[in-house]
Amino acid sequence: MSDAIETAKKYIEDNNCKEALKLARKRHGKDDVEDYLTILDLLIDADYLLAVEEKGMYYQYYDKSHDNGDYGEKYFDQYLEKQPRSINVISDKALSRFNKGKIDEAIELMDKALDKYKSYSKIEKPRISKKEVLLGKIELLIQAKRYDDALSNLNTYENQFGGDEKSDLYKGQMLQKTGKNEKAIEYLDKSLQNEDTIIGFNAKGDALYDLKQYKDALKNYKTCINYESKIEDDLELVTNFNYKAAFCCVKLDDEQEAIKYLNKTINMLNEHGRLPNDLEMIYQKCSFEKERIMKKGEVKDEEFRKTRFFSARTSIIILIIILILYVILRYMGYH
């Protein structure tokens, strides 16, 4: 038994669970997960409720398997059995539900957390502000693609707390998603003045694209493309600004440049095998557009020209080898 665990036991025996939890967190900070979890279990056995949430948070964020995909929810449920009005843990559970793909349930829990702010328990003052809970709900609505609801909640947020860098970005996005493109640009410009973000430039590009201002839209998409290596894991976003850059070029009569972006988008989506319906539609749209341009015969496909082919002599040698192998296999009885 380690010295840390022995010390934690003494703290618990002296009813000093707060220090034992601090010690557990220190062990976690030093990557000593075994001692960290052992101390948490000792605290849980001693009915120290904060250790239950702590263990749930470990599986929420740090455990590679997230406790086989549970994301700490069973610990949050255990906590809520004893403290059902905990805004902190209701919000924690909302994230667990979200990570399990239960987005509507996650949003319901965030609504519940907001409602609890009217009369939260004095036993546990929320560490998460009402502002943060509302913003968390808005982020879940955006993930669920419930853009009208997200915009409505952003208006509530702005009325209660005023605008800020993050809410300006989200509101600009949602205004664009709901067809209010000119107003969207106002909010996105405010957001981009504070911080350059790919999401902001992409949304501004989309607003300009919808307004048929293709030259300015292309500038924003090219900015996204310059930094796309930072968001390689977001296929939907990367696909959007690449394929729309292609169609901006088409609208601007620069089909040679359009082919470059069409090839890039097609190849990128090819690498991902089976695609969701929306990305499959983009793939087909790009393929048809490339075919349309190439049929005109006015544009050279530079990527096609880079493709290497075997020489005639090499091709004949390969064919002879294949025929020899075929004869050998037939001789050995393979059909």
Number of other CB atoms surrounding residue 318 within 10 Å:
11
Q: How confident is the model at residue 191 (pLDDT cuts 50, 70, 90)?
A: very high
For residue 286, give every residue at least 6 positions away whose Cβ sits within 8 Å of its Cβ, in sequence order, or none.
Answer: 243, 246, 262, 265, 266, 269
Taking each continuous run of H as one helix and of E as one strand, the counts in the chain are 19, 0
Q: Is the pLDDT of residue 120 over 80?
A: no
pLDDT value, residue 331: 65
pLDDT in tens, 31-81: 999 999 999 999 999 999 999 999 999 999 999 999 999 999 999 999 999
Question: What tokens were used for 257?
Answer: 């440049």
**What pTM value is reported for the model?**
0.75
pLDDT in tens, 136-178: 999 999 988 999 999 999 999 999 999 999 999 999 999 999 9
pLDDT in tens, 294-309: 988 777 776 544 433 4
What are the b/e assignments for 30-56, b being 16+ CB within 10 Å? eebeebbbbbbebbbeeebbbbbbbbb
For residue 112, give every residue at least 6 positions away whose Cβ sits within 8 Å of its Cβ, in sequence order, or none.
Answer: 90
Over the chain, what is the mean pLDDT? 89
Kindly state the DSSP code that residue 72 receives in the 8-state scheme: T
Q: Is the pLDDT of residue 22 over 80?
A: yes
**Nearest CA-CA partner of 182 in 158, 144, 210, 155:** 210
Q: How far is CA 212 from the centre of its chain?
A: 29
Average of pLDDT values for 217-245? 93
Number of other CB atoms surrounding residue 295 within 10 Å:
8
**Nearest CA-CA partner of 146 in 186, 112, 106:** 106
pLDDT value, residue 309: 42
Measured CA to CA, the distance from residue 120 to residue 128 in angstroms comes to 12
